[in-house]
C-alpha cells in the first residue's frame, strides 16, 4: 500500500463512523486475520466430523425400509447443501467485487470454487452409491441429479475461464460475469429440469414443517452439516491466503512477511 493510500485508510474510520467494514477488504489486513481464523474453524471441523460420524454410524438406528445403505445421506445431504451454498457465496463475492472493486472479493470467490466443485462431486458420487441399492441404478436422469450435474459444469466453467486468462484483473472480472449469469440461471435450470422429469424424493427436512425422519438421524445429519461448514470455511481461508501471497508477491507487506518468517 502506498503512503497516501495508507493515510487515507487510517482516516476513513473516523469519517465513516461506527465499524469500518472495509478494513479487512485489504489483503494486508485480512491475511493475519485469516491465519487466526483457520484453527478456529479447522479443529471444530474435525471434532464435529468425528461426533457426526459416530452418531451416524453407531447411534442412529438402521432404517426400516432402506437398511444400512441410508447412512450415506449423512455425507450426501451436507455435501449437496454445501455445493449450492458455496455457489451462492461465490456469486455474492463476485457481485461485491464488481460493485466495490475490491481485489480480495475475487480472490474469495476463486478460493471457494474448488471446494464447491468438490462438494458437488461428492454429492453426485455418494448419490450414485445410494441410488444403486435403493433405485437399482447408479444414475437416473432425474431433476435433482441433472441440476446438480449442471452445477458441477458451472463450477468447472468458472474455474476453466479464470485459469485460461493470464491477466488477473481480466480473469477476476470475466469469472465474475460467468458466476453471476450462472447464479441467475441456476433457478431456471432447476425448474426446467424439474418439469422435464422427476423421480428424486422431495426434501425430507424443511424449516416450515416437522422433519420426516427420526430425531437422532436428523441430529447426526445436522452435526455433519456443521462439520462441512467449518471444514469449507477453514479450507477456503487457507486457499485465499495462498492466493493473496501469490497475487501480492511484489508488495512490501509480503516481502516483510517473508523477511520476518525467516
Partner 1 sequence: MLRILFAVVRRDLLLAWRRRADVFTTLAFFVIVASLFPLGVGPEANLLRTMAPGVLWVSALLATLLSVTRLFAADYADGTLEQMLLSTEPLTLIVLGKVMAYWLVTGLPLVVLAPLLGVQFDLPQGAIGVLSLSLALGTPALSLLGGIGAALTLGLRGGGVLLALLILPLYVPVLIFGAGAVGADAAGLGAGAHLLLLGACFLSALAVSPLATAAALRIAME
Binding interface with partner 1 (CB under 8 A): 150, 153-154, 156-157, 160-161, 164-165, 169-170, 173-174, 177-178, 180-182, 184-185, 188-189, 192-193, 195-196
User: Minimum distance between the CB of residue 170 and partner 1, rounded to whole angstroms?
Assistant: 6
Would you say 66 or 192 has its CB closer to partner 1? Answer: 192
Contact (Cβ atoms closer than 8 angstroms) between residue 196 and residue 143? yes
Closest CA to 201 of 128, 133, 144, 139: 144
E strands along the chain, which residues?
A: none
Would you say 3 or 188 has its CB closer to partner 1? Answer: 188
User: Minimum distance between the CB of residue 210 and partner 1, rounded to whole angstroms?
Assistant: 34
Contact (Cβ atoms closer than 8 angstroms) between residue 193 and residue 105? no
Would you say 78 or 182 has its CB closer to partner 1? Answer: 182
Would you say 184 or 210 has its CB closer to partner 1? Answer: 184
Contact (Cβ atoms closer than 8 angstroms) between residue 56 and residue 216? no
Would you say 44 or 157 has its CB closer to partner 1? Answer: 157
User: Minimum distance between the CB of residue 250 and partner 1, rounded to whole angstroms?
Assistant: 20
Would you say 180 or 205 has its CB closer to partner 1? Answer: 180
Specify the DSSP element, H or E, that contains 157: helix 143-164
User: Minimum distance between the CB of residue 56 and partner 1, rounded to whole angstroms?
Assistant: 33
User: Minimum distance between the CB of residue 131 and partner 1, rounded to whole angstroms?
Assistant: 21
Q: Which residues pair with 67 in a beta bridge?
A: 63
User: Minimum distance between the CB of residue 169 and partner 1, rounded to whole angstroms?
Assistant: 7
Q: Which residues pair with 63 in a beta bridge?
A: 67
- How many C-beta atoms surround the C-beta of residue 249 within 10 A? 10
User: Minimum distance between the CB of residue 76 and partner 1, rounded to whole angstroms?
Assistant: 22
Would you say 31 or 106 has its CB closer to partner 1? Answer: 106
| Separation between Cα atoms, residue 241 and residue 258, nearest integer Å | 14
Would you say 33 or 163 has its CB closer to partner 1? Answer: 163
| Separation between Cα atoms, residue 36 and residue 5, nearest integer Å | 26
Contact (Cβ atoms closer than 8 angstroms) between residue 83 and residue 151? yes
- How many C-beta atoms surround the C-beta of residue 33 within 10 A? 12
User: Minimum distance between the CB of residue 162 and partner 1, rounded to whole angstroms?
Assistant: 11
Amino acid at each position: 500500500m502506498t503512503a497516501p493510500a495508507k493515510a487515507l485508510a487510517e482516516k476513513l474510520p473516523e469519517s465513516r463512523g461506527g465499524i469500518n467494514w472495509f478494513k479487512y477488504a485489504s489483503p494486508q489486513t485480512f491475511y493475519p486475520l485469516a491465519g487466526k481464523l483457520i484453527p478456529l474453524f479447522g479443529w471444530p471441523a474435525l471434532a464435529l466430523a468425528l461426533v457426526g460420524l459416530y452418531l451416524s454410524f453407531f447411534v442412529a438406528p438402521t432404517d426400516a425400509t432402506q437398511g444400512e445403505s441410508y447412512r450415506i445421506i449423512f455425507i450426501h445431504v451436507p455435501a449437496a447443501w454445501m455445493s449450492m451454498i458455496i455457489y451462492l457465496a461465490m456469486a455474492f463475492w463476485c457481485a461485491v467485487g464488481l460493485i466495490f472493486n475490491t481485489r480480495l472479493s475475487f480472490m474469495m470467490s476463486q478460493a471457494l470454487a474448488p471446494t464447491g466443485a468438490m462438494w458437488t462431486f461428492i454429492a453426485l458420487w455418494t448419490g450414485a452409491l445410494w441410488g444403486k441399492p435403493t433405485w437399482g441404478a447408479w444414475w437416473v436422469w432425474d431433476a435433482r441429479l441433472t441440476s446438480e450435474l449442471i452445477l458441477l459444469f458451472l463450477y468447472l466453467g468458472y474455474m476453466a475461464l479464470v485459469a485460461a486468462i493470464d491477466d488477473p484483473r481480466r480473469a477476476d472480472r470475466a469469472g465474475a460475469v460467468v458466476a453471476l449469469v450462472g447464479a441467475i440461471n441456476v433457478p431456471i435450470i432447476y425448474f426446467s429440469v424439474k418439469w422435464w422429469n422427476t423421480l428424486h424424493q422431495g426434501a425430507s427436512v424443511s424449516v416450515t414443517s416437522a422433519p420426516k425422519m427420526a430425531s437422532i438421524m436428523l441430529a447426526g445429519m445436522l452435526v455433519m452439516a456443521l462439520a462441512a461448514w467449518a471444514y469449507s470455511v477453514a479450507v477456503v481461508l487457507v486457499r485465499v491466503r495462498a492466493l493473496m501471497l501469490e497475487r501480492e508477491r511484489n508488495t512490501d507487506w509480503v516481502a516483510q512477511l517473508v523477511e520476518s518468517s525467516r
